[in-house]
């Protein structure tokens, strides 16, 4: 199968926040993981989809650059935890303010399907649009979870570009 990178965007007027059940044990907070911890998170969340095999996470020069990016205050990392246990993360990119790029977002595989991903994404989008962000965008791949595109579209994201990358 050819690998495609899919670009999605969400404008404030298109945002459709879903109704989400309360998750009193869930906590989202900014963290500054070191490169080893971050790569562990990538593997925990994205192993079924090959995230950890991408050059960004395997090439020593790219990993060194990634380690430096982890310290950039315009690229905060949010950790999603339930009762203190790691369940997912999001890497946000505000370098092109006022737009937000969601660089990475995911929930560990055994926590999918229960609304945790929706809870996490809604938190990020609510916060972004409360700051008058004119556009939130992200990329995904056709090799990610088979329901991921539909997941994003339920929030109002629309696809605006595809490119073949492999």
Q: Strands 136-141 and 100-107: what pairing?
A: parallel
Q: Tally the domains of the chain.
A: 1
Residue 83 lies in a domain: yes
DSSP, residue by residue, 51-62: GGGSHHHHSHHH
Residue 86 lies in a domain: yes
Residue 63 lies in a domain: yes
Pinpoint the alpha helices (H) of 4-115: 35-46, 55-58, 60-69
Residue 68 lies in a domain: yes
Residue 166 lies in a domain: no
CATH number for position 147: 3.40.630.30
CA-based nearest residue to 129, from 164, 147, 156, 89: 156
Interval 73-118: pLDDT, tens? 999 999 999 999 999 999 999 999 999 999 999 999 999 888 999 9
pLDDT at position 150 over 70: yes
Q: Strands 77-82 and 26-31: what pairing?
A: antiparallel
Q: What is the pTM (predicted TM-score) of this model?
A: 0.92
Residue 96 lies in a domain: yes
Domain limits for position 49: 4-20+28-160
Residue 165 lies in a domain: no
Sheet holding 136-141, edge to edge: 26-31, 77-82, 85-93, 100-107, 136-141, 4-10, 158-164
């Amino acid at each position: 199968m050819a690998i495609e990178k899919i670009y999605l965007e969400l404008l404030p007027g298109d945002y459709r926040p879903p109704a989400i059940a309360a998750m009193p044990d869930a906590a989202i907070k900014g963290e500054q993981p070191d490169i080893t911890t971050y790569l562990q998170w990538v593997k925990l969340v994205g192993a079924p989809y090959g995230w950890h095999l991408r050059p960004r996470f395997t090439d020593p020069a790219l990993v060194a650059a990634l380690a430096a990016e982890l310290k950039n205050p315009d690229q905060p990392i949010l950790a999603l935890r339930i009762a203190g246990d790691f369940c997912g993360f999001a890497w946000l990119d505000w370098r092109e303010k006022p737009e937000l790029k969601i660089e990475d977002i995911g929930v560990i595989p055994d926590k999918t399907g229960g609304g945790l991903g929706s809870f996490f994404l809604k938190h990020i989008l609510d916060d972004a649009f409360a700051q008058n962000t004119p556009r939130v965008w992200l990329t995904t791949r056709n090799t990610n979870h088979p329901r991921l595109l539909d997941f994003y579209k339920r929030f109002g994201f629309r696809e605006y570009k595809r490119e073949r990358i492999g």
